[in-house]
Structure 1
Amino acid sequence: MSSTMRAVVAQTPGPPDVLQVVQCPIPQPSPGQVRIKVKAFGLNRSEMFTRQGHSGSAVQFPRILGIEAVGIVDTAPGLEDRFPVGATVATALGGMGRAFDGGYAEYTCVPAKQVQIVKTTLPWEVLGALPEMLQTAWGSVIRSLSLRPGDRLLIRGGTSSVGLAAAAIAKKHGAFVASTTRKRERAALLRDHGVDEVWIDDGAIAPQIADTSGQYFDKVLELVGTVTLADSLQCVKKGGIVSMTGILGSKWHLDKINPMELIPSESKLTTYSGTNEQFMRMPLNELVKMVEQETLKVRVGRVFKLKEIAEAHRCMEDNEAEGKIVVVP
């Protein structure tokens, strides 16, 4: 076995071209860690923000980015009974790609407490799309929004990979699901993923509801972020909940906001970002089985090779993937 591997290293923050594929030593697992031979990983906007330098002192460069990975167990010293060599596994969060080197590599070492064994026949490029996407969708819908059968749910940013997964999960839990898209031609895509109602997003959905059905929502999953948050808060019924989970609009902060004006009386605003503990509580194998049976449809966008990582980041930055971007080393 070679002592080196290919990995994507960002020496400094910057544009996509700061991501360079280099040869570096294969990492050695510390006690309590599993070394994974990476077979695929999904790209996430949080990695784009880190690469752009928005993570501040939380990330020290140079760094191998990547908050998730799927692959096979290469070694797990002292943990072989739980993680036999060759077992298919998934990992996400817990400091990957930020506090320590992450999944943009042929091998990664992660704490065993954030590794799930997966039993599946899915191809790597599909499995690689799932860990963080499903964690975010499931955690937002089930934990942050406490979705119940019969709830009316609006997903803002519905054609994103998380938005599509969230729609399928919500339908499985008996909710009425509406989703937004800025492009009318994507309405069919949303309906194909189980969406009951499609709204064309011009930045102001609440006035559209008032002018048409007048039926507001029990819950709103806000994936676009600060640019549509104020309007989303007007889309819920009195006592409704809005969970801000994504920042697809690429704007981090609200400007000169008075919370008493922003949040309607008796409505609730929360957030969801996910942790490795929440990743481990997610019923990953149950959701993977749904993907296998196509009762949960996952839209994989473009699939890149490791050497194409800069192009993959440009694709993500330009919103050109139309699905989850996956890299196969």
Structure 2
Amino acid sequence: MKAVVLERTCKAEDLKVSEVPIPEIVEDKVLIRVKGFGINRSEVILRDYEADESYIKLPRIPGIECVGEVINPSNSNFKKGDIVCCLMGGMGRTYDGSYAEYTLIPIKNTFKIQDESLEKLSLEKLISIPETYFTAFGSLFECLDLKKEDILLIRGGTSAAGLSAIQLAKSINATIIATSRSEKGIAKLKDLDVDYTIIDNGNISDEVLKITHNGVDKVLDFIGATSLKDSMNSLKFRGIICVTGVLGGEEYIKNFDPITYVPNGKYLTGFFSNYPSQEAIDELFKFIIDYNVETNISKIFTNLEDISKAHKLMESNKAQGKIIFKLEDL
């Protein structure tokens, strides 16, 4: 089969397609023919520097999500021909992932796509959903408990996950303030009918307070450590921040003291997307269908050989939507 095999950390242009054996079926894993997959920031991080860490065993096929067809269900309850999505749980890091024509995925990270979703959603839309929308959905409704009466600040609004969160939050009519680092990004946010937009220079709390006076009810922060203190200053008393990304380039806050860093009466949480369930995936797809959410796809590639182009586009921060590969039709 064709696959992108990461032998070492490298630049985007160094990614190549190789011929490797189709994985042999083993107990507790399902053999999937990959119909398509999304490109994610974490895969760029893996390629760029994380693959040098001792816990990554190279060579490795990257890719933390896919949609595909069950070819061999092994000892699972799946049937041959089932259409499934697979995501997270070490996919593309602990074991080989989705940048391939076939992939062998643990049963616990494989989820059947129900017939209603297959009938109502295109393959392109199905491919764009799993990791990005699971992350946005969990952040908004599991961690932030978002309600229609809330004022929500989304930092990193033009990232794929940010755009997904905007669509989900708009579907329940929450008021949204969203940020971007560029005027082009602001234009994109306005096209999505975001209620308020702010150029994010790292210090936006004063602008947020001009809009809301007392601060926002909820913050979904995709920037991470570099913006957390300013996000806290944007939050009202009894408000909640969910940190779900590291777009700011720093994963940790040095000398973090939660007693002084998190003000009295403000709450900090984070969404860790590593443990999806069939129930959560079913709920996500049902929400997208019920609220007629139009997923935001930036670019569709159809040839695995274009993997370098896809990574360069992700690195450019110009995608403003999900980058996907569609390798086969349903």
Report the TM-score when normalising by structure 2. 0.89
The 5 Å alignment of 1:47-66 reads 47-54=43-50, 56-66=53-63
In 2, Cα distance between the equivalents of 1:272 and 1:301?
A: 24
TM-aligned CA distance change 1:73 to 1:63, over 3 Å: same
Structure 1 match to 2:182: 183
Structure 2 match to 1:42: 38
Amino acid at match of 1:286: K
In 1, Cα distance between the equivalents of 2:317 and 2:181?
A: 12
Structure 2 match to 1:314: 312
2:111·2:277 contact (CA, 8 Å) conserved in 1? no
Structure 2 match to 1:161: 160
SS at 2:108 equivalent? helix
TM-aligned CA distance change 1:257 to 1:113, over 3 Å: closer
Structure 2 stretches of 5 or more lacking a match? none
Instruction: State the Cα deviation string for residues 227-249 of structure 1 (Å, max 9, x = none).
Output: 22211111111121111101122
Aligned: 1:323 with 2:303:
no
In 1, Cα distance between the equivalents of 2:30 and 2:264?
A: 48
SS at 2:96 equivalent? coil
Aligned: 1:98 with 2:93:
yes
1:158·1:190 contact (CA, 8 Å) conserved in 2? yes
TM-aligned CA distance change 1:207 to 1:29, over 3 Å: same
Amino acid at match of 2:286: E
In 1, Cα distance between the equivalents of 2:258 and 2:285?
A: 40
Structure 1 match to 2:78: 83
TM-aligned CA distance change 1:182 to 1:53, over 3 Å: closer
% identical aligned pairs: 36
SS at 1:281 equivalent? helix
Aligned residues: 320
1:11·1:18 contact (CA, 8 Å) conserved in 2? no
CA drift at 1:51: 1.2
Report the TM-score when normalising by structure 1. 0.89
CA drift at 1:94: 1.2
SS at 2:118 equivalent? coil
Correspondent of 2:8 among 2, 6, 12: 12
Structure 1 match to 2:280: 281
SS at 2:4 equivalent? strand
Correspondent of 1:108 among 82, 103, 106: 103
Structure 1 match to 2:25: 29
In 2, Cα distance between the equivalents of 1:10 and 1:94?
A: 19
TM-aligned CA distance change 1:213 to 1:174, over 3 Å: closer
Instruction: State the Cα deviation string for residues 187-242 of structure 1 (Å, max 9, x = none).
Output: 45334445322223222221113345414111100011222221111111112111
In 2, Cα distance between the equivalents of 1:235 and 1:138?
A: 22
In 2, Cα distance between the equivalents of 1:238 and 1:148?
A: 17
Amino acid at match of 1:289: I
Instruction: State the Cα deviation string for residues 90-145 of structure 1 (Å, max 9, x = none).
Output: 11001100110001100011122222222324343332111001110011111121
Instruction: State the Cα deviation string for residues 261-319 of structure 1 (Å, max 9, x = none).
Output: 432222122221212335752323314425xx7x3121111222210112211111121
